Structure 1
């Protein structure tokens, strides 16, 4: 074959592939189901499992009435154990589906499948790289989860493992072309926080534009090393729709570690039409969080890390005076869904809340 013609064909093929863009359905769009990675004892021991397990029981009970709950169990023994726990807690099993995959931990928002739709409306899975938040923790098992789910569901998987590491909790989209993220948890090249070695801001934005279907990326600097995630966006802001975000007041954001610059960027952010987002403010907990078993933690808790399901909204609760205030504020934003408080005190000790351990599957298969 003529070399020039061959080069032309390869170039044309590459252009065609890159012309395919994807759309990430917003969380509040109709779900087929929710994915959960159930806690187990194989990585962190039985005490860890037993302390956090009630959160999974409560989430499953709240979700199963209106959508499927896809529970990832470590092995058959764990599946049997979990089934017994659900039955003991009077949780109906009708809408519950089990998958047997080994996992390193519970954070399915970060390592799990990113369900998107192509330009024909077909549902696909994006399998981004996952490296344990910059190689801080084991990740080999969790990194395989999207591929395993795609194979089991018979859904095409777009393999992005060699292109970019991306954790689902590190990005927020407004469903209408805007994505917000922190540089610290996406493109930082500082030791201990590197997701994708050598990636530039422009390269990350091009990936987001193609694979999330956005046209505008808003960056906060974030704080590298502040926590395991290097400051995930879903801890302090969430888009309610393409005109409105929910976040926290300046004092709470400063206490969480945001800089004045980042707060200004957040508060003045605009949508694709150039209109500043309306802001709904929800407080942090009144007190620093104390676990359900009595350990005093060093930080207040965030209510922004909630999860929007078909007919319910699961809001992290802490046994704090501000639980009711936050639940009521969030309830007003979702009048057609019921807010259910989920006790996350013991989970919060390990760095996460409700949104961190849930992953939506949109209707579309």
Structure 2
């Protein structure tokens, strides 16, 4: 009897150790989308007023097809946001609120990573977040996954001491492949360090276990070029298991990618060794000018779009190429409606639509 108990315990322990998790592809069915609403406490009222129309537009577009979970800084902000949404005639049936202090809006990077276990149950991975290498305040935002897990009564895997990982730094094809830039994951350069002393092999082991992938494709990326040290979701996205959305060589070079990285990107293959079909989106025709008239130094990317249940939110810039990019993306998602979201003022701060959204997949919550 004791031997049987011991054997059962050992087998149970081995199974627990062998547990891997699956990060569902973005286009799979969502329960809802999480947003961190911009506020004035960190960057002032002018900042908030300039960017929050983007959140109004996203909420309006998303609410008809899934829940919209809005994180408000405090009760006063919640009241203000409700009034703002009602003023803009946004239906509130599928909109709810959580009250947590935040440092900023980038929920893709600091928020919960929702995954499924081998039985299909949904749970949260709480990876470390350190403000993109301690460039900005991060203490409030680092608490968001844990706070959501507590409120939902859902299991949270605490990876804070294991690895810093921003959601926008990785892309997965939903079928075993993950792509990332070394510059925003394992770089040891000052001002870009997420994980001191981490090796490439250690990072790959974490991705294999907690994203459920068997193949990791690395680009070198560039440290210090922008706040994120070149997040992959600015220029590359998997549309499905076999198709990659990216940009042409000239646009990628202008973004700062090396010839080596472009070659790695263009020749990337899936788990079966088959090279991905590539769909090329243009950059904006012109350098982006904010809605309030400030001329920026960069062109805009359309690759940073977000796939929801019934719509695809595409960053738009008031540029001649908006409609061209929208049409190309629409062709990839015939069952969903492409909606252009004006991100001109948000782009001044380095992000677009994908950076400020985070999906919660449909499924039973693991308690």
Place the TM-score, normalised by the shorter chain, in its bin.
over 0.9
Q: How far apart are 1:12 and its partner, in Å?
A: 7.9
Match of 1:74 in 2: 73
Match of 1:41 in 2: 40
Distance 1:13 1:179 in 2: 29
SS in 1 for 2:284: coil
Distance 1:170 1:11 in 2: 37
In the TM superposition, structure 1's runs of 4+ consecutive aligned residues that sit over 2 Å from their partners are 8-18
The count of corresponding residues between Structure 1 and Structure 2 is: 358
Distance 2:289 2:72 in 1: 29
Q: How far apart are 1:301 and its partner, in Å?
A: 0.1
Q: How far apart are 1:282 and its partner, in Å?
A: 0.5
Match of 1:3 in 2: none
Q: Deviations over 1:267-326 (max 9, x none)?
A: 000000000000000000000000000000000000000000000000000000000000
Q: How far apart are 1:14 and its partner, in Å?
A: 6.6
Distance 2:127 2:8 in 1: 28
- Does 2:190 align with 1:191? yes
SS in 1 for 2:157: strand
SS in 2 for 1:191: coil
Distance 2:64 2:196 in 1: 43
- Does 2:299 align with 1:300? yes
- Does 2:363 align with 1:357? no
Match of 1:310 in 2: 309
Q: How far apart are 1:17 and its partner, in Å?
A: 3.4
Q: How far apart are 1:16 and its partner, in Å?
A: 4.1
Q: Deviations over 1:73-109 (max 9, x none)?
A: 0000000000000000000110001000000000000
Distance 2:35 2:150 in 1: 17
Q: How far apart are 1:13 and its partner, in Å?
A: 7.7
Match of 2:173 in 1: 174
Distance 2:116 2:173 in 1: 16
Distance 1:60 1:185 in 2: 29
Distance 1:257 1:13 in 2: 49
Match of 1:283 in 2: 282
* TM-score when normalising by structure 2: 0.96
Match of 2:117 in 1: 118
Match of 2:63 in 1: 64
In the TM superposition, what are the counterparts of 1:223-262 in structure 2 within 5 Å? 223-262=222-261
- Does 2:92 align with 1:87? no
Distance 1:294 1:98 in 2: 33
Q: How far apart are 1:18 and its partner, in Å?
A: 2.6
**What are structure 1's unaligned runs of at least 5 residues?**
1-7
Match of 1:103 in 2: 102
Q: Deviations over 1:13-60 (max 9, x none)?
A: 874433010000000000000000000000000000000010000000
Distance 1:304 1:14 in 2: 42
Distance 1:29 1:114 in 2: 15
Match of 2:272 in 1: 273
Match of 2:139 in 1: 140
Distance 1:27 1:159 in 2: 22
Match of 2:19 in 1: 20
In structure 2, the CA distance between the partners of 1:259 and 1:11, relative to structure 1 (3 Å rule), is farther
Match of 2:4 in 1: none
* TM-score when normalising by structure 1: 0.96
Q: Deviations over 1:131-175 (max 9, x none)?
A: 000000000000000000011111100000000000000000000
SS in 1 for 2:291: coil
Distance 2:263 2:38 in 1: 38
Distance 2:138 2:185 in 1: 17
Q: How far apart are 1:11 and its partner, in Å?
A: 9.2
Distance 1:9 1:222 in 2: 47
In structure 2, the CA distance between the partners of 1:46 and 1:337, relative to structure 1 (3 Å rule), is same
- Does 2:216 align with 1:217? yes
In structure 2, the CA distance between the partners of 1:24 and 1:293, relative to structure 1 (3 Å rule), is same
Distance 1:17 1:222 in 2: 35
